[in-house]
Amino acid sequence: MIINFIRHGKTAGNTEKRFIGRTDEPLCDIGKDELKRIAYPECDIVAASPMKRCLQTAQIIYPTKKPMIYDELRECDFGIFDGRCHAELDGDPVYMKWISNNGMTAPPEGEDVDGFRGRCVTGFLRAVRENANCTVMSFVVHGGTIMSVLEKLAFPKREFYEYMTENGHGYVTEYDGEKLRILGKI
């Protein structure tokens, strides 16, 4: 099966480099315009996070397809840091400790990193299993979701942050039922 991973278009928070996890922000005008200038691969089925930014992105890219929504594909909950940016948090001892750990621990009142990554992989595998007859699937999700799935299933193995992708972009992969092989970028 060919699987496309597409990160949602830009939101106002993305343009301001904010941690946008549980915040259900819509796309900004710049994000909508950028999506319209990118050539996206066709697909049979669209799977998406339930967040506005993903659903709006799916509507722009695949206007004739109704996305299948998978709650497990949501972005990480950044807890007390959600909606805030580095400039606002710089110097806060709790934030500095979290950032010095490369975000590999749960932010205060936020989601556990291993739980988040496991949730994303579980959602991906469920979506693929439920659509096993399909030839090409597109996942319109979050950067953290893409990085989580690829870190766990892509071959050859790479680290989480090596799969970071810009808004509106992503990866074309082939899934053999166990591993994802990256064929190219979007």
Cα separation of 172 and 76, whole Å? 23
Residue 166 domain-assigned (yes or no): yes
Over the stretch 43-76, which tens digit does the pLDDT of each residue have? 999 999 999 999 999 999 999 999 999 999 999 9
Residue 48, in any domain of the structure: yes
Is residue 86 pLDDT above 80, yes or no?
yes
Residue 103: pLDDT over 80? no
Per the confidence metrics, is the pTM higher than 0.85? yes
Q: pLDDT tens across 105-118, in order? A: 888 898 998 999 99
Residue 53 lies in a domain: yes
Whether the pLDDT of residue 141 is over 80: the answer is yes
- Quote the CA–CA distance of 35 and 45 in Å, as a whole number: 19
pLDDT attached to residue 97: 86
Domain of residue 27 covers: 2-78+113-185
Q: Is residue 101 part of a domain?
A: no
* Token code pair at residue 44: 């049979």
Residue 99 lies in a domain: no
Domain with residue 62: its CATH number is 3.40.50.1240
Q: How many domains does the chain have?
A: 1
| Residue at 51 is within a domain | yes
29 inside domain: yes
The answer to the question of residue 8 being in a domain is: yes
Positive or negative CA dihedral for 76, 80, 165, 50? positive
H/E segment holding residue 171? strand 170-175
